[in-house]
Amino acid sequence: MVWTGVMISGSLIVLLVFINQVQAGSRGAFGCLYASDILSCTGLGMDQVPGDMPVSTVTLDLSHNRIVDLDAGSFEGLPRLETLRLAHNQLSDIPPGAFSNSSGTLLRHLDLSSNRLRVLEQDYFQDLQGLEELLLFNNRIVRVESQALAGLRNLHKAYLSHNRLTDFPFFSIQKHSHPHLSLLDLSSNRLPKLPLEDISNLPLSVQEGLYLHNNSLVCECSMYDLFRVWDQKGYDSVRFFRQEHVCLVFGIQRGTVRFFQHGRYFEKCNTTLNQPMREQESSVAVTAGNPLLLHCVTSLSGHGVTFLWFAPNSEYVVPPGNNSSLKMFGNGSLEIVAARERDSGIYWCMALDQRRRRNETWEVNVTVVLQHDAEAHEPFNTGFTTLLGCVVSLVLVLMYLYLTPCRCPPCPKTPPPATPTPSIGNEGTAGASILTPTPPATTEAPGRKVSTNKHVVFLEPIREQQNGRLRAEPGHLGPGLLLSPELKGHRAGEMDSIVFSDTPIMMP
pLDDT over 80 (residue 105) = no
3-class SS of residue 190? coil
The reply to whether 385 falls in a domain is no
Residues 253, 208 within the same domain:
yes
3-class SS of residue 310? strand
Greater confidence (464 vs 222) lies with 222
DSSP output for 25-43: HHB-TT--EEETTEEE-TT
**pLDDT tier, 356 (very low <50, low <70, confident <90, very high otherwise):** low
Which distant-in-sequence residues (6+ apart) come within 8 Å of 392 by Cβ? none
**pLDDT tier, 320 (very low <50, low <70, confident <90, very high otherwise):** confident
| Residue that terminates a domain, selected from 331, 349, 376 | 376
The reply to whether 389 falls in a domain is no
DSSP output for 112-174: --SS---EE-TTSSTT-TT--EEE--SS---EE-TTTTTT-TT--EEE--SS--S---GGG--
User: Do 317 and 308 meet the contact criterion of CB atoms below 8 Å apart?
Assistant: yes
Q: Which of 293, 282, 289, 287 is nearest to 368 (CA)?
A: 287
pLDDT over 90 (residue 90) = yes
Q: In a 10 Å sphere around its CB, with 0-12 CB exposed, 13-18 middle and 19+ buried, how is residue 134 labelled? A: buried
| Structure confidence at residue 81 (pLDDT) | 92
The reply to whether 7 falls in a domain is no
Residues 237, 186 within the same domain:
yes
Domain count, the chain: 3
Greater confidence (415 vs 59) lies with 59
| Structure confidence at residue 33 (pLDDT) | 93
User: Do 251 and 302 meet the contact criterion of CB atoms below 8 Å apart?
Assistant: yes
For the domain that residue 357 is a member of, what is the CATH number?
2.60.40.10
Q: Domain containing 36: what range?
A: 30-270
DSSP output for 206-249: HHHTEE--SS--B--HHHHHHHHHHHHHT-HHHHS-STT-EEEG
CA of 388: how far to CAs of 378, 379, 381, 395, 433, in Å? 19, 17, 11, 11, 48
pLDDT over 50 (residue 275) = no
Look up residue 498 and give its DSSP letter. H
Residues 45, 190 within the same domain:
yes
The reply to whether 94 falls in a domain is yes
> Which parts of 28-106 fold into alpha helices (H)?
none
How far is CA 478 from its chain centroid? 80
Q: What's the average model confidence in pLDDT over 441-463? A: 46
Q: What is the pTM of this model?
A: 0.52
Residues 160, 96 within the same domain:
yes
Poorest-confidence range of 224-238, 316-330, 461-475?
461-475
Greater confidence (321 vs 129) lies with 129
Residues 215, 349 within the same domain:
no
Residues 147, 36 within the same domain:
yes
Residues 85, 129 within the same domain:
yes
The reply to whether 387 falls in a domain is no
Residues 162, 73 within the same domain:
yes
The reply to whether 159 falls in a domain is yes
Look up residue 349 and give its DSSP letter. E
What one-letter code names the amino acid at 287?
T
| Structure confidence at residue 203 (pLDDT) | 92
**pLDDT tier, 478 (very low <50, low <70, confident <90, very high otherwise):** very low
b/e string for 178-196 if b means 16 or more Cβ within 10 A? beebebbbbbbbebbbbbb
The reply to whether 262 falls in a domain is yes
Poorest-confidence range of 165-169, 180-184, 284-288, 303-307?
303-307
For the domain that residue 198 is a member of, what is the CATH number?
3.80.10.10
Residues 248, 346 within the same domain:
no
pLDDT over 90 (residue 112) = yes
Which distant-in-sequence residues (6+ apart) come within 8 Å of 61 by Cβ? 38, 39, 40, 41, 42, 85
Residues 175, 60 within the same domain:
yes
Greater confidence (502 vs 325) lies with 325
- Mean pLDDT computed over every residue of the chain: 75
* Separation of alpha carbons 20 and 26, rounded Å: 10
| Structure confidence at residue 436 (pLDDT) | 43
| Residue that terminates a domain, selected from 243, 270, 297 | 270
The reply to whether 486 falls in a domain is yes
Residues 163, 303 within the same domain:
no
User: Do 114 and 91 meet the contact criterion of CB atoms below 8 Å apart?
Assistant: no
Which distant-in-sequence residues (6+ apart) come within 8 Å of 363 by Cβ? 282, 346, 347, 348, 349
Q: Each residue of 23-54: pLDDT tens digit?
A: 444 455 568 999 989 999 999 999 999 988 89
Residues 236, 191 within the same domain:
yes
